[in-house]
Amino acid sequence: MYSNGILNIDKILIRQEVVEIPFACNLEKCKGACCTLESQYGAPTAKNEIIIIENILPEVFPYIPSKNKEDIEMKGFWEEKDGSLMIRSIDNKECVFSYFEDGIAKCGIEKAFFSDKISFRKPISCHLFPIRISNFGGDVLRYEKFKECESAIENGRKLNTTIAEFCKDSLTSLYGKEWFEKLSGYLRS
């Protein structure tokens, strides 16, 4: 049951927009904008993810451009800003792990994962996008709106898919299948 536009499932708070707004990425139109959004802040990451990525860098390097590899070797792949850990970007735009395929920005970590080289798909903040997690004594899931994702909203309407449904794999990975089944009971209700 919603209370003030927020759903509580096992002490995880979900803003109503996550289960109601249509969304399904359309890479042909956005060109992987989430990997190249201009900002002084990169993708949020966690300390345990940094340790994992440090261990898999040799398997990821073949999937990213040499300029990105050199940048990582010189400056590292993560930084801390305003008390938050994040993946670095090049010139406040392109993620250090991004590469381009047919003009579309994609993730080198994820490419190594789908090539069966590693068992880590990518940082959960990237996998959950456009959902962001805020912490107010516990996780609060919210939709982070970007104009670059307008085509994803159109595509979500066309496919009749919400943000939560689009992010099913990442939400299940983070909170478990049983938790997602509980959330599913609120989709389109």
Give the pLDDT confidence score for residue 189 in this predicted structure.
Answer: 47
β-strand 6-9 against 2-3: which pairing, if any? antiparallel
When pLDDT is cut at 50, 70 and 90, the band that residue 4 belongs to is confident
**Which run of H or of E encompasses 94?**
strand 94-95
* Mean local confidence (pLDDT), 124-140: 90
Give the pLDDT confidence score for residue 2 in this predicted structure.
Answer: 60
* Mean local confidence (pLDDT), 10-38: 93
What is each CA distance from 74 to 65, 70, 176, in whole angstroms?
A: 15, 6, 38
Give the pLDDT confidence score for residue 1 in this predicted structure.
Answer: 53
Residues shown for the chain = 189
Q: What pTM did the predictor assign?
A: 0.88
At 82-127, the pLDDT tens digits run: 889 999 999 889 999 999 999 999 999 999 999 999 999 999 999 9
Give the residue from 24, 27, 25, 26 showing the smallest Cα distance to 102. 27
Q: 87 - beta bridge partners?
A: 78
- Indicate the residue type of 62: P
Helix axes 177-184, 168-175, angle to 10 degrees: 130
Domain ranges of the chain: 1-23+130-189, 31-125
As to burial, measured by CB atoms within 10 angstroms (0-12 exposed, 13-18 middle, 19+ buried), residue 41 is middle
CA dihedral for 119, 138, 42, 164, sign (positive or negative): positive
At 166-183, the pLDDT tens digits run: 999 999 999 999 999 999
Give the pLDDT confidence score for residue 188 in this predicted structure.
Answer: 61
